[in-house]
């Protein structure tokens, strides 16, 4: 099963590299992280997704070092517009900042071009047309191949697309985060824009890997997400129990059922699950060979969705930073 972004076509499932350096507590040893990146390539992954924010540059350095010998074989994606400054996360979409971030990314990734470059967050103090106009000049200079946006609404996508074609929108999309179905998915389909789905396994929840949020490391970002907090977590666990039974009926793992459901939503959808486990990597990539009936997929949709999942995906402060449509 293959999917397309702009002129590139490859395996329908990519690899999100964030958690090899960022967000979920103590990162793995760089040697282990490098082994996972190489194993992903061996298994057919060509789409690798990183960002300036991840590890405040360390993830780009990791990906650049490990995959440099394979650079001609991979589709490399990174992001600007949200970086680490003096140890803090900063959203900055000013043209001069985006330009500087690109130069830093090229150096860290050890390449002269990035195949897909996203605006990681829309800086609402800067017109989207200005940020995308700067990125269009990056395309003209040959430093990036295509433009992407992350966590934006259908309306913002249209505004950006009027300045320069937007090859991909990256947003959270899974059984338990269905916001793209409000308007963004239809707009991506209309414009020929790929929808790259991050956290397709609900930040590990649908893989069954989070059973006690209190056991997560202090710096794990899930600790601050309402769905992993009381009283929401207990409600969501009851949904997961039913999902586990459904996966058993389908003859696959929960992760595979969640990914298969996503792949069947639309040909423009490309999941990029992240993992630190070689076993989980192999499990995820085996999804393409898993057959799941339409009845089971429909049952999964009814079981886990906007009408059943408890809690918003972000707290109020983070939600205010993003531009995605939300269920009322």
The answer to whether 54 is a known catalytic residue is yes
Average pLDDT of 80-84? 96
pLDDT at 180 over 90: yes
Query: What pLDDT band is residue 12 in, cutting at 50, 70 and 90?
Result: very high
Within a domain: residue 93?
yes
Whole-number Å distance between alpha carbons of 61 and 140? 25
Asked whether residue 145 is domain-assigned, the answer is yes
For residue 258, tell me if it sits in a domain. no
Confidence of residue 29 (pLDDT cuts 50, 70, 90): very high
The enclosing domain of 15 has a CATH number of 3.20.20.100
- Whether 148 is covered by a domain: the verdict is yes
**Is residue 164 scored above 90 in pLDDT?**
yes
User: How much of the chain, in percent, has pLDDT values that exceed 70?
Assistant: 100
Residue whose tokens read 């429909």: 298
Q: Which of 24, 54, 117, 173 is catalytic?
A: 54
Alpha-carbon torsion (27, 29, 30, 35), positive or negative: negative
So what's the pLDDT on residue 162?
Answer: 98
- Report if residue 21 sits inside a domain: yes
pLDDT of amino acid 307: 95
- Per residue in 297-315, pLDDT tens? 999 999 999 999 999 999 9
Q: Is the pLDDT of residue 273 over 80?
A: yes
pLDDT-based confidence at residue 87 (cuts at 50, 70, 90): confident
Q: What is the pLDDT of residue 196?
A: 98
- Percentage above 90 pLDDT, the chain: 97
In-domain check, residue 104: yes
Mean pLDDT, the chain, integer = 97
For strands 114-119 and 75-80, give the pairing: parallel
Rounded average pLDDT over 187-196: 98
Domain tally, the chain: 1
Q: How far is CA 261 from the centre of its chain?
A: 16
The 10s digit of each residue's pLDDT in 213-233 is 999 999 999 999 999 999 999
Taking the chain, what is the end-to-end CA distance rounded to the nearest angstrom?
A: 35
The whole-number average pLDDT for the span 18-33 is 96
Question: Other CB atoms closer than 10 Å to residue 142's CB: what's the count?
Answer: 9
Instruction: Give the domain range for residue 76.
Output: 2-205+263-289
In a domain, 233, yes or no: no
Q: What phi and psi, each to the nearest 5 degrees, are found at residue 140?
A: -60, -35
Q: Could you tell me if residue 33 is inside a domain?
A: yes
Task: With a cut of 80, say whether residue 296 has pLDDT above it.
Answer: yes
Q: Is the pLDDT of residue 328 over 80?
A: no
pLDDT-derived band of residue 288, with 50, 70 and 90 as boundaries?
confident
Under the banding of pLDDT at 50, 70 and 90, the label for residue 322 is very high
How far lies 160's CA from each of 141, 163, 167, 178, in Å?
19, 5, 11, 23
Write down the pTM of the prediction. 0.97
């Amino acid at each position: 099963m293959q999917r397309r972004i702009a002129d590139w076509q490859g395996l329908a499932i990519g690899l999100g590299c964030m958690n090899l350096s960022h967000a979920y507590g103590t990162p793995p040893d760089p040697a282990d992280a490098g082994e996972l990146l190489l194993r992903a390539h061996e298994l057919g992954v060509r789409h690798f997704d990183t960002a300036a924010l991840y590890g405040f540059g360390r993830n780009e350095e990791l990906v650049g070092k490990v995959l440099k010998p394979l650079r001609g074989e991979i589709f490399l994606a990174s992001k600007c517009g949200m970086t680490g400054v003096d140890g803090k996360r900063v959203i900055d979409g000013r043209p001069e900042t985006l330009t500087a971030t690109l130069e830093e990314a090229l150096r860290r990734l050890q390449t002269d071009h990035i195949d897909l470059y996203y605006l990681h967050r829309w800086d609402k103090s800067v017109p989207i047309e200005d940020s995308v106009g700067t990125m269009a000049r990056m395309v003209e200079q040959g430093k990036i191949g295509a433009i992407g946006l992350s966590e934006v609404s259908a309306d913002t996508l249209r505004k950006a697309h009027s300045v320069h074609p937007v090859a991909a929108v990256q947003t959270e999309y899974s059984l338990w985060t269905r916001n793209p179905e409000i308007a963004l998915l239809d707009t991506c389909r209309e414009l020929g824009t790929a929808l790259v789905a991050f956290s397709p396994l609900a930040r590990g929840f649908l893989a069954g890997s989070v059973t006690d949020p209190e056991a997560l490391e202090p710096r794990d970002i899930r600790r601050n997400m309402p769905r992993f907090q009381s009283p929401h977590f207990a409600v969501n666990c009851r949904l997961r129990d039913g999902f586990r039974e459904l996966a058993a009926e389908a003859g696959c793992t929960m992760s595979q059922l969640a990914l298969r459901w996503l792949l069947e939503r639309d040909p423009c959808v490309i999941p990029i699950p992240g993992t630190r486990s070689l076993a989980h990597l192999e499990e995820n990539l085996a999804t393409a060979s898993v057959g799941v009936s339409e009845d089971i997929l429909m049952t999964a949709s009814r079981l886990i969705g906007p009408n059943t999942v408890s809690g918003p995906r972000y707290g109020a402060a983070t939600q205010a930073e993003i531009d995605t449509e939300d269920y009322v």
